[in-house]
Amino acid sequence: MRHHHYLPLLLLLACLFNCSGPKTGEKGVVIPNEVEVAVNAAHFLEASLVTPVETVACTLSDGTKSTCYKIISRSSPTDHQMGPWCPDNISDGPESGGIWIEGGETYDVDGAFIKNMAAFYGDDTWKMYDAEGNIFTTDTKEDCANAANPNVGPEYRNFCVECLPSYVTDITQTYLIPTTPVAGENTNLFARGPGGGIGLRGIAFNGIRFDGPAPTNAILGAYTLAPFDDAGGHINLHAGYHYHAATGVSKRLPQPDGHAPMIGYAMDGYGLYANADESGNTAVDLDDCRGHYDEQRGYHYHVDKAGANNFINCLRGAYAK
């Protein structure tokens, strides 16, 4: 029998920049502006959006009056399948489950991973399967909602958590991104919250959000596991489907010079690029926000590796309020 629940702290990830947005950080940030690249709304996949991208007036975090692209996205990508997340039995292979991140690395959540969790975490409390090897997995929207409280009960221990796409078919998300980035005087640091940073980092070309770090410590502390699928995403009832890792599954724009492919836009309008280039090399000159400048792309970011539970560390530009 499978009971469905979902860790409450994950629901906090529906926030954009906490209640008041990113915090102001170090002053004196200088971004070269010889090449300034505007956001290209045509990169977004129309099939993933509720309506076509619209240009609207907006006010940025530094008070600048500007124009923004208004993007209303669905809760499901159209360029890849969502799931699976939890395997059914400890005999299942990696195709039956998603991934988990630990210590900067990604692990296939297959049957063997579930079977080995007690040894992996050095805690005999972990045993997420019965005598026949069937894995305890959540399976109803009601239990997913009922788990949204600060005190996860012991009845949820040793369950693999998977909220399903059918639970969030009516959820949409609306985002504003400056049509042309505006370099900020200050670094906009992401707010911190229970279990990790809270705040929207950017948007993939399929309209799915690149979210703040998943509260993995809180998840594990409740003796639950909430895997991501192979695209680095999972579902909660507030934010819908969202990413916590960039694994190369969503739409990518290859670069003619072999530079890392583009995967979306940060909320300040600067481009988001994959962690590594076509040769597998990572940039060595990134600033504290994980950005740098070149003459082809202007200032842009490189997301962290998939196992880091992180995309970028801060925003160098002003964001829409």
- Determine which helix (DSSP H) or strand (DSSP E) holds 220, and give its type and residue range: helix 216-221
- The answer to whether the CB of 247 falls within 8 A of the CB of 231 is yes
pLDDT of residue 189: 72
Radius of gyration (Cα) for the chain, nearest Å? Answer: 20
Give pLDDT tens digits for 182-231.
997 777 777 654 333 347 999 999 999 999 999 899 889 989 999 999 99
Average pLDDT over residues 97-120: 98
The domain locations on the chain are: 1-321
- In DSSP terms, 301 is beta-bridged to 272, 291
pLDDT of residue 238: 86
Higher pLDDT, 93 or 141: 93
Average pLDDT over residues 48-76: 95
pLDDT of residue 13: 37
Give pLDDT tens digits for 257-270.
999 999 999 999 99
pTM score, whole prediction:
0.89
Percent of the chain with pLDDT over 70: 86
Amino acid at 76: S
Question: How many whole angstroms separate alpha carbon 186 and alpha carbon 236?
Answer: 33
- The answer to whether the CB of 315 falls within 8 A of the CB of 22 is yes
pLDDT of residue 28: 52
Q: Determine the straight-line distance between the first and last CA of the chain, rounded to whole angstroms.
A: 46
156 pLDDT tier (thresholds 50, 70, 90): confident
Assigned token pair, 136? 């305890």
- The answer to whether the CB of 95 falls within 8 A of the CB of 111 is no
pLDDT of residue 296: 94
Q: DSSP assignment, residue 195?
A: T
Q: DSSP assignment, residue 17?
A: S
pLDDT of residue 198: 42
How does DSSP assign 132-157, residue by residue?
T-BB-B---HHHHHHT-SSS--GGGT
pLDDT of residue 174: 95
